Every structure is written in structure tokens, then in C-alpha cells.
Chain A
Amino acid sequence: MSYVSRFLEPTLVERLNHLQLSARRVVEGSTIGQHKSPVKGASVEFRQHRFYVPGDEPKRLDWRVLGRTDRPYIKEYDEETNLRCVLMLDGSGSMAYGGRAGTKFDYAAKLIASLAYLMLGQTESVGMGVFKKRVENWLGPHSGQAQLSRVIDVLERSAAAGQSSLKTAVHEVANRLDRRALVIIVSDLFYPITEVRECLARLGHDRHEAILLRVNDADELEFPFRRWSRFRGLEGERAMVVEPAMVRQAYLDRFRAHQQELEDGVRALGGEFHTLTTDKPLIDSLTYFIHRREGGQ
């Protein structure tokens, strides 16, 4: 099964390959930097050799290969993967909004695919679920390239529509995870703050690491409409006829307040919060995210 799709185009893959090295920090930053690994390098089953990079522990060098080839390689084992990563994609109707740069759902799906590609490339286990009112198309965490194909397959079959419940989805995922994991939620997060905080609290209680990646369209940040408009809710909300100029300030005030509360709430509960906008190239947003993760170490 090929993992090349509209969510993981060759040009994106090529760019992602340049991020491979740094991408390791996505996982390590949260597992090693803040929490001790419960496995502590137990080597159960040899997996592969990998070229030494600065930062690797010297004791993990394969001295035999070094002696024969004069090249430093690291021996890696399957059990060395000490993290499971679960990617949660918001499939609610609001994610279907898109301006000139495309829908938020497409952008988020590409982001999910890219993260999966990067982390699977680092031999991590990646799980994934698209949630609406409940988690749909759940993939349990697994490693290997086959998992990437399954992720992409799920993304291809998913579409943004209807209402969603973050609280229900998070609880459902937490129940399914028997080991601690890194949970990355990709959503526009148009949920009440209390609901988000409750979700984070649940994940924290289960000792999961949480990262919230908020995806917004530029229109949602600026509300640039000028003519009288009838706004129809993508999740079945009551339509409203307004003069944009008159409601713009109130909208922006509420939006920014919500954003601030999100940031404060997430950080207070030990999570990470990042905002991405669809008008920025995905690779740039991803690079920004990874570098922020590096900076967090």
C-alpha cells in the first residue's frame, strides 16, 4: 500500500525527510526530557543500525562495526521505542471551512499524515483516530510503514461534517490506551474552555502527554467580511444575518479571549499549545512546531 496521497505528496515527503533528524525531538522532548523512560533502554530485539549523530550515548555504539569499518553506528532495538503517539483529528463540520488556502480539515489531515510519517520514520508507534461525536476510524498505535498506509487510508476516507465532542473523544481514546502515550490533538478547538480543560485533565490523570495543535483559517483570525452576510453554522447552528463591520470587534474580542484562555489552560495543565493557520505552508508550520519542541527542552 502506497502512502503517497493528496495528504502526503512527494514534495512534502522530500521536505519532511529533511526534518527527520529534528523530528526525533518531538518524541524525545516529551518523554526523555520531562519523564523518565520506564524501559530505560532494554534491548530485546535488534532492529537496525543507525548512523551515529551527536547526542547519542557512546555506549550504544556498535564498536564492532566501528572497528571494521571505522564508521560510528548505533544499534537500535524494537523495545527501545519508549513512546506511543496518538494523533487525534477533529472531523467536525467547522473543520470544513476553508478560504483561499483550502479547508482546515485538509490542512489538519496533511499535518496528521506528516507527523505520522516523521514519527513512524523514527520507529515510534503511532495511533490515530478521527473524532466527531465519537472516535471514528480508530487505529491503535503501531510502528512500521504499514501503519502509515493505514493512517493515510483513514484520512482518505474521512471528511469533516456534523457536530463533534472533544470530551467524549478524549475519554474514549484514554480508555483505549493502556500505556502512557503522547496524544496530539489537531483541531480548531471551537469548544468551550471547560471542555478542553476537562480533556487535558483526563489525559494528565492517565499520565499521557498532550499537545494541542489548533488549526485556523485566516478568515477566522481577522473576520475580514464587509458586506451584509448570512453566516450559516457548519455544525447546524442557527444562521445569523449581520453587518460584519458591526460585529467584527466583538467577534475578535471573543476569539482572542478564547485563544488566550486556551493557551493559559493548556499550559496550566502541563500540555502544549500551538496555533497554525492554513495560509501558511504546511512544512513551515511543521518546522515551526518542531523547533518550538526543541526549544522546550
Chain B
Amino acid sequence: MFLNPLMLAGLGGALLPLVLHLLSRSRYRSVDWGAMMFLDAADPRDRQSTRIKQYVLLALRMLIVALLAVTLARPVASRTWATTLAPSGPTTAVLILDCSASMSVVEGGRSRMDAARDVASRLLAVMKNGDRVSLITAGLPQEDGDLVPSSDLRTIAARVAATRAGVGRADMAQALDRAAQLIKRYGQGQDARIFVVADRQASSWSDVDASFATTFRTGWGSPDVSGRLTIFPVGGDLSDNVLVESVHIVNPPAIKGELVDIDVRVRATGKSAQPSIPVTLARDGRPISTQTLSLAAGDAATARFIARFEQLRSYVLTASTSGVGMPTDDVRQTAVDVGEPIRVLLVSGDEPDAVSPASNALAESTFFRAAVAPYTAAGVKRGVDPATVMVVRAEALDSATIARQQVVVLANVPQLSSEGLKAIEQFVYEGGGLLVAPGGLVDVNAYNSTMWRDGGGFLPAQLFPATPAGSAGPTTLLGIDLTYPAFAFLKGRPDPIPNATIGRYFPVTPRQPDAVVPATYTSGHPFLVEAGWGRGRVALLTTPLDTDWSTLPLSGFYVPFVQSLVRHLSGSADRDLAPGQPIITMIDNAIAGEPIVAMPDGRRQTPAVSRAGGRTEIRFDDTIAPGLYTLRYRVGKDDQRIHFVVQSPTDESDISPMTTAQWDELAATLGAARLEPTDDAIASVFTGARHGRELWAPLLTLVAVLLTVEMLLGRRWSAGVSA
């Protein structure tokens, strides 16, 4: 076996001394010589001896050149005679197989995963009976059974053959660390080896640096890992990739019958621009429309789609693009729960007579209703309102009233009764959304004592008396965080700052550290403060919802802002999950029978169910694998279905390959050998590993010895030749 068989071509160089010998003989010079008796007087035995010496030297020189060529070819002792010469015990090996998403890339009609499986199979094929192998599938959920070294190489080979490229990233640092621990645990005192079969993706090795190498060697149990870690890179150097980075509803939740904006963000990685990338959005597998994006290298662009959802159920939106680069990130899904309009309870402190818009045309409820239920407020049925609004006076607030609401608004409520306060607290704690919009009727001290409670209450900020009218001068909004969901509608607008004047407001001190301030006045005081409390959210608007203190309701900012804020506070369930994030859903009614979760790989599992107070919580934890999970349960006779999507990380989508310098640095850092997976390399490296070392060192020594012998013989047989 030779690691560098090309160098065997140097065997032809062994003929060089012979050619030179023949050339020298054929190109001799003539000398007219007198002392022939001393040349010619040699007896036949002397002549024969001289001829033999010449042939011996010639053979030595040819042998030296040939041995040098063989040495450069890096021979490895074959198993047979290596075993004879140096019998050794079994090998304990850890095989790290890259199963990340990038392994699904197809090059030359063959996927990288196919190539990796082939290399791993060949590696297993050259192992002998008694050798033990652990299998680490980097990028896939690790099967614990694969970690225990097994001498059943056929089973290991079958496992390798069954592996598929996942959708996640391969963390080689983690895999190596795990391999080192396995070696330390199972391979002490044996011929321990780690083999890595992976593509050339640079990001897989991003966490492998000098500090990791130190830890790795320590974990291995031996500072000298040189020659015992071998990396077989597979696949090519493809670096261009187009991925769907995200797909999401612009302003959730989706309301039945309402037109919904959906953004699909697409990115091009690598070195090439992608001038014409089709992006298709499908709803439950049926295409909605297709758009075309032009992407510069490394750039991203967003395609906006509009869709209407007509049924009250869970939908799956699928965004897909062309097959440039890695196929697994060409598709991304999101789950959308479509519901009824948001149920909003507005508790008004400024309703003089009855809950009637006509009696108080300029009350907070009037503006608010017009904003979140414009069709109802206008008495027309041309469209779907995002919310239904029920208005109650503050003193009428109780737990019965608040039940089944999604959002409660405290609009200029002077102070809450104790019953109302408890109802609000319970409502928010259980996941409801609360908007507090104080006004001129508010008792600041009562708010602070009952809702703020020195930071222990649900109010996200401590209130201070409102700025006096006219003294400080009108102000306006300045700092707006467009990443805050309620302000997302401002994205892309040339002037997102509303043209409105705020005459008075309540200075506040937000609760630290959890409260966020997504918008401030020019004066620097917060316009909006939000913080979570229990399972719900509480937003504090520091100026009223009506026109008493500001002109906000009269600006074009007001309606989308209030709608977005209500949508945000409604706490629509996010059905998109990170890998490993559990599926948790609360169902108001008791369910019949056992719920079922259909997993991305087709398996069906039963989630955990707990019941309390007539409500049912369903929890499912096995969400490591990205993809679509569908929860099915029955309420009464109705079958319910909720989709969840575990999103795959996008860091795997950069498939840029390692450079030669990066490979060299990696090999030097880890003390690893990187070998292209030829048959010879696989066989010889393993054999070399089992039996200690390659043969180049003794061969080189032999070459040196032969050189010395040649020089000594040459000098002896031609002693005293002047230079």
C-alpha cells in the first residue's frame, strides 16, 4: 500500500545510473598509453573482479534510486506481513460522519452524503475482526446506541448506509470532543483512532481552534494524538447557495377572512450573484404565487405575498426557491393559526353615561374602536375587522366580564377596584394582553401603589404626575424601534416618525431590567413601555388614546399602530420553534382520547397531557429534528389539528469550503492527517495506524546506509581518485 503512489513513477529513475553507465561507455575518450603492461597484465580473475565491482556499484546506485522513489511513495506495510512483524491488539475507532445539511449538496450527480457513506463503508471494510467502532452522526440527533464501541462491523456498516443528511449543522468541535471522551473511556491502552468523514464546509470547523485543541487532547487522554486523527474530506468545493432565510406573517395573528401580508426573505451565499431567483409561496401545499428576486452575492431580499385565510384552523405556509446549492434550505415553512377577530375589552374611565359611542363621541373608546374595528365602528360590512371591542366602565369590571377576552385596555381609568385589579392580574398572568393608557383622570399614586407596587406589580413602569399643560411645550415622537412588532408596519416608509403633537404625557421610570421602551418622545421620556408579566404582556402608553393631550388619533400613525399593538398584545401563539424547544399548547376544553404528534420523519408519538381547571396542556419535547410537527387531538367529536414548525438554523447554509491554508492550520492544530479518500489512502492509513507507523523511516535509513556503502565501496575500489 502506498500513500503517495504517484511517486512510484520515480522507479523509472532507477534506470538512470544504467543509462549513464552505458552513455559513459559509449562516449569514452581515447588515450594513447604506454604503460599498458600494468593495465593489460591483470589476470582474467582481476578483470572479472573489476567487472563484478562495476556491476555491484551499478546495482547499488539503481537500488538507491529505486528505494528513494519507493520511500517518497510512503509505503505502508501490508496487513499480512505487518501482522507477522508486529502483531497487535484490536483497534478502537470512533467514526465521525458528517450528516449536516450541506451533505445533501449534489455534485457531479452524486450527493456528498453518498460519498461520505461510501468512504465510511470502505473504512469499515479494511478493519479486521475484533476492532470496535463507535459512530457519531454529526448534524443528526445522536443515537446513544451508536456511541458504545461495537465489534459488529456489519451492523455499523448498516447504520452508516442508513444515515441521511439532516437539515442542521455539524458541530465538529462537539463531535471531536465526544469522540475524545469515547476514546478515553473505551480505548485506553489500545490502538485508538478517530476518523472524520465530512465535506469541506468551513463553518463545520468554526469552533475548532487552538484552545479547543488543548481541551481535545486532554479529553483524548494523551497529548500525542499525532497520526491518530484522520480527516477524509468528501465532495467538491461548491460555495454558491440560495436559501429561504425566513417566512412569516407581517402582523400576526392571522384573522379569518382578512388579507394577510407574508414576507419571504431569501439570501444568496457564496461568491456568485443570483440574478433571477424564483420564490414560490404555497399554502398547505398549494401555490399562492411566485415572484422573482435578484440577489447580489452575499445579499438578501424580501418578497412580500398577500393571502387570505378563510377557515379557522392551522395552516402551513411553505416558501421555496430554486435548487442552487444546498437543497435542504431551499424550502422553509411556518405554521399559521387563523382565528376570529381579537376580542378586546376596553375599560373606560371616561364613559359618562353608558357604553355608547354616540353619547361620548370623543372618548378614548371612540378612537380606539374606530382604530381596531373600523368597519363595525362605521356600521359597514365591507371587510373584516381585526378585533371586536367591548367597552365597560371601570366600576363594572369584574372577572366575569374579562373572561374569554384576549386584550384588555385600561383607558383613562382613574383607579381599579380591588375586584377589578384581581381580575386584571389574573387575566394577564394567564396570558392575556393588557394596554394601559392613562389620562387626566388617573390617580398616579393609586396606580403606583396597586399596579406598580415598587416593581412587583404588572405595570411595567412607575408613573409620575403628568407634565403640566403648556408649561413644557408640546413634544413629539422621536425614537421608534422598528423591530418592535407593533411598529413593524413602519418599515420601508421614508419617514416613519408620525406627524403628531403630544401636549402632555406621564413621565415614567421603566422597570429594570425586563421592560423595553420601543418609542420615546423628543424629550427622552418613554412613549411606550412593555414588559411581560406571568404569561401575558403589559404595555403602558404614557399619553391617552383620545385627543385630550395629543393629536395622535388624528394622524395616519394611529390606526395601524393601535391595530398592531392589539395584535401584538393578543399573544398569538408562535408556532415556529427552535430545535429542542418543546411544543406547549393550552386548550380551553377537555380533550377526548390521546393526542398524537406527527413528526417530520413520519413517526407518530403521544405527547404529555396535563389537565387543570377544565383546561388541558399538551407538551411534546422531542423536537430536535427541524421540520413540520402536527398535533392532533379531539374535543368532543371535532378533530383539531395544530401545526408547529421547528426551524432549521441558517448557519449551515454557508457552504463555503475550507481553503488550503485553513486545512493546513486545522491539521496542525489538531495533529490530524487530511487524506483524500482513495482506496490506497484508506487502507494504508488504517493499517499504518494499527501497526504504528509507515515504512518511509526505515526505508530512508536503508537509503542512507546504501549511500554510505556505495560511497565507501566506490572510494575503496577507486581509491585516491583526485577531484
Contacts and interface: CB of A to CB of B under 8 A. Distances in A.
Contacts of A226: 721
A121 to B, nearest CB: 32
SS class, residues of chain B in contact with chain A: mixed
Contacts of A248: 718-721
Given A224-B722, A237-B36, A230 B28 contact: yes
A246 B717 contact: yes
A252 B39 CA distance: 9
A102 interface: no
Interface stretch (B40-48, B114-122, B263-271, B623-631): B40-48
B29 A229 contact: yes
B710 to A, nearest CB: 13
Contacts of B717: 245-246, 249
A251 B39 contact: yes
B721 A233 contact: no
A95 B32 CA distance: 11
B54 interface: yes
A94 B37 CA distance: 10
A231 B720 contact: no
A226 to B, nearest CB: 7
A96 interface: yes
Interface string B20-41: 0000110111111111111111
Contacts of A231: 31, 33, 36, 39
B53 interface: yes
Contacts of A232: 30-33
A94 B35 contact: yes
B28 A96 contact: no
A289 interface: no
A235 interface: yes
A251 B53 contact: no
Interface in B235-257: none
Given A228-B24, A232-B31, A249 B39 contact: no
Interface residues on B, range: 20 to 34
A166 B29 CA distance: 31
B89 interface: no
A94 B54 CA distance: 29
A241 B722 CA distance: 20
A228 B22 CA distance: 10
Contacts of A230: 28-31
Contacts of B36: 94, 231, 233-235, 237, 240
B24 A233 contact: no
B34 A93 contact: yes
A233 B33 contact: yes
B95 to A, nearest CB: 58
B25 A190 contact: no
Contacts of B41: 254
Contacts of B53: 246
Contact of A247 (B34, B50, B714): B50
B33 A250 contact: no
Q: Which one of B27, B35, B36, B53 has the greatest number of beta carbons of chain A within 10 Å?
A: B35
Contacts of B54: 243, 246
B658 to A, nearest CB: 54
A237 B39 CA distance: 11
A238 B46 CA distance: 17
A230 B25 CA distance: 9
Contact of A227 (B29, B32, B42, B719): B29
A220 interface: yes
B34 A95 contact: yes
Nearest to B718: A245
B50 A255 contact: no
A250 B46 contact: yes
A134 interface: no
A241 B40 contact: no
A250 B32 CA distance: 19
B720 A240 contact: no
A12 interface: no
A254 to B, nearest CB: 4
Interface in A203-227: 217, 220, 222, 224-227
Nearest to A252: B720
A178 to B, nearest CB: 35
B40 A245 contact: no
B721 A234 contact: no
A121 B38 CA distance: 40
A93 B714 CA distance: 33
B34 A220 contact: yes
Contact of B34 (A94, A227, A249): A94
A234 B39 contact: no
A167 to B, nearest CB: 15
Given A228-B27, A242-B39, A246-B717, A234 B50 contact: no
Given A229-B31, A245-B718, A250-B50, 5 more contacts: A97-B34, A227-B24, A230-B28, A230-B29, A237-B37
Interface of A: 93-97, 104, 188, 190, 217, 220, 222, 224-235, 237-238, 240-252, 254-255, 258
> Which 4 pairs of residues, A with B, have the shortest CB-CB distance?
A94-B34, A245-B718, A97-B34, A228-B28
13 contacts: A94-B34, A95-B34, A188-B34, A188-B35, A190-B34, A222-B722, A228-B27, A231-B31, A232-B32, A232-B33, A246-B53, A248-B718, A250-B42
Interface of B: 24-25, 27-42, 46, 50, 53-54, 714, 717-722
